[in-house]
Amino acid sequence: MNLEADENRFSQIAELLVSSRHAVVFTGAGVSTESGIPDFRSPGGIWDRFDQSAFDYSSFLTSSQSRLAHWELFRTLSHRVEPNPAHFGVAELCRLGLVKAVITQNIDNLHQRAGVPDELIMELHGSMKNFTCLRCHAKYPLDKIEVIMQSAEVPECPHCRGILKPDVVFFGESLPGDTLERAVFNSRASDLFIVIGSTLAVYPAAYMPEYALASGASLVIINLTPTPMDSQASAVIHARAGEVIPEIVREVKRRSG
Ligand code: ZN
């Protein structure tokens, strides 16, 4: 990161935040890569290691081979990881009342663990925090599932031996309607929309900044690589989220002195 060149943009973004009425943060995989969570689409990411065609909801339900593949992936994703400075920075901006909603494509629960209240978060693709039995609808926290995983390749519901599924959105499944509705509402209500760590490639999630722009919001993009919406943003920073967000928080605090 070229700190000097970015200095002006930190201050510009801080100014936008302080003068905003309804700032919304939108995050993708890039906010969590510094926590050690592998990205799905980057080279060396999840889809380089797993055959994406084996993953969809109907084959998960009907094929034990597909369930085995899914559980290998869940194992990879359930490794213990911690929030990084980007997550803590976003949580701090929420605590200061400057960010009113956090929309995320991530399923890692790291925003909540960094201190963002549940009611401010919209997890568009669900979360690995809980698993549900598709037969008896019992819910199990990830901790409990991790214990079962130690002795079973494909864990089953301890009650009824039904299929267990994490509360995440699978390929071929639609996004949770109420969460999507809240995300659209907040995007349209925003006057400042800050994208962090998303290449804006996955729809319908990537519609959110478009809704925000259409409603007259300013767009800020913080991502390691360029995105298709960079040209429409008021400020763009191509750097790691964990380096940028703490700088912006510092600028914001300097202003509110
Ligand atoms: Zn069950």
Ligand 1 centroid to residue 43 C-alpha, Å: 38
Kindly give the distance from the C-alpha atom of residue 173 to the centroid of ligand 1, in angstroms, as a whole number. Answer: 21
Q: Are residues 8 and 113 in the same domain?
A: yes
* Residue 195 sits in the same domain as residue 244: yes
Q: What percent of the chain has pLDDT over 90?
A: 75
Active-site hit among 125, 137, 159, 238: 125
Tens-digit pLDDT profile for residues 43-59: 778 888 888 887 889 99
For 29-48, the pLDDT digits (tens) are 999 988 888 777 777 788 88
Domain count, the chain: 2
- Identify the CA nearest to 35 among candidates 130, 147, 128, 113: 113
Are residues 110 and 71 both part of a single domain? no
Count of alpha carbons within 13 angstroms of residue 70, beta-carbon side = 24
% of the chain with per-residue pLDDT over 70: 98
Asked if residues 26 and 208 have their Cβ atoms less than 8 Å apart, the reply is yes
CA 66 to chain centroid: 25
Cα 165 to averaged position of ligand 1 atoms, centre (Å): 11
Q: Domain of 98?
A: 1-37+83-125+175-257
In sequence order, what are the beta bridge partners of 122?
A: 103
Q: Are 59 and 136 members of one domain? A: yes
Q: Are 179 and 234 within one domain?
A: yes
- Per the annotation, the verdict on 22 as an active-site residue is no
CATH number for position 152 = 3.30.1600.10
Its pTM stands at 0.91
Q: How far is the CA of 148 from the centre of ligand 1 (A)?
A: 14
Tokens 């359930």 belong to residue:
78
Q: What is the CATH number of the domain that holds 191?
A: 3.40.50.1220
Run of H or E including 214: helix 207-214
Ligand 1: centre distance to CA 68 (Å): 18
* 159/179 same-domain check: no
